[in-house]
């Protein structure tokens, strides 16, 4: 009988310790936790992973940081379609990268895809193209940049 009581006391104590460790604990000792963006749906073939937009950038666009690179996507509606601007920058100083080969794969609301080549605008220090589609809906965009053989990708969206 004494061993059953002892066993119950030990078991109860372990249960209380377990419940105590699952609770919030001492609020004063909690460290600050910064949320991380969700992982990308797929990884590119390069060392710089494709990422989902994390914030609003200096130009008011969607931002993806991929390795040492900073990509800011700014869609602007125009009479002839949507002007797609991509600011491709490198390093902490966000130096423009003028010598990349950049394309955008745009998925239309119908499910069809259209690939567009973006050209560098030295005056604006960004890559740009006009997307002619005007159908209402959401347009997922995958930007592919080849910077001297290094692949950098970012995923963005815009709506019509």
- The per-residue pLDDT for 102 is 98
User: Is pLDDT above 50 for 38?
Assistant: no
Side-chain-side CA neighbours of 25 within 13 Å: the count stands at 8
Residue 2 binned pLDDT confidence (cut-offs 50, 70, 90): low
Assess contact for 81 and 130: CB atoms under 8 A: yes
Write out pLDDT tens, residues 5-19: 665 566 555 655 444
**pLDDT for 7:** 58
Domain-embedded: residue 17: no
Residues 114-125 have pLDDT tens digits of: 999 999 999 999
The backbone region for 67, taken as left when phi is positive above 0, alpha when psi lies in -120 to 50, beta otherwise, is: left
CB 100 within 8 A of CB 90: no
The reply to whether 78 falls in a domain is: yes
- Mean pLDDT to the nearest integer, 16-25: 49
CATH of the domain at 129: 2.60.40.3340
**Domain interval for residue 59:** 55-159
Into how many domains does the chain fold?
A: 1
Give the tens place of pLDDT for each residue, 54-107.
Answer: 466 677 899 999 999 999 999 999 988 999 999 999 998 999 999 999 999 999
The answer to the question of residue 11 being in a domain is no
The pLDDT, as a whole number, for residue 47 is 40
Residue 48 lies in a domain: no
Q: pTM score > 0.75 for this model?
A: no
């Amino acid at each position: 009988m004494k061993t059953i009581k002892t066993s119950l006391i030990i078991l109860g104590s372990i249960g209380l310790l377990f419940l105590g460790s699952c609770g919030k604990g001492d609020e004063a000792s909690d460290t600050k936790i910064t949320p991380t963006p969700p992982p990308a749906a797929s990884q590119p073939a390069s060392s710089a992973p494709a990422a989902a937009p994390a914030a609003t950038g200096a130009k008011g666009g969607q931002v993806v940081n991929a390795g040492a690179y900073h990509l800011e996507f700014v869609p602007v509606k125009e009479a002839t379609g949507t002007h797609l601007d991509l600011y491709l920058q490198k390093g902490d100083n966000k130096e423009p990268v003028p010598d990349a080969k950049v394309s955008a794969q745009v998925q239309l609301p119908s499910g069809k895809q259209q690939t567009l080549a973006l050209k560098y605008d030295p005056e604006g220090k960004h890559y740009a193209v006009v997307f002619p589609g005007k159908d209402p809906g959401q347009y997922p965009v995958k930007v592919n940049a080849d910077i001297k053989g290094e692949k950098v990708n970012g995923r963005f969206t815009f709506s019509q």
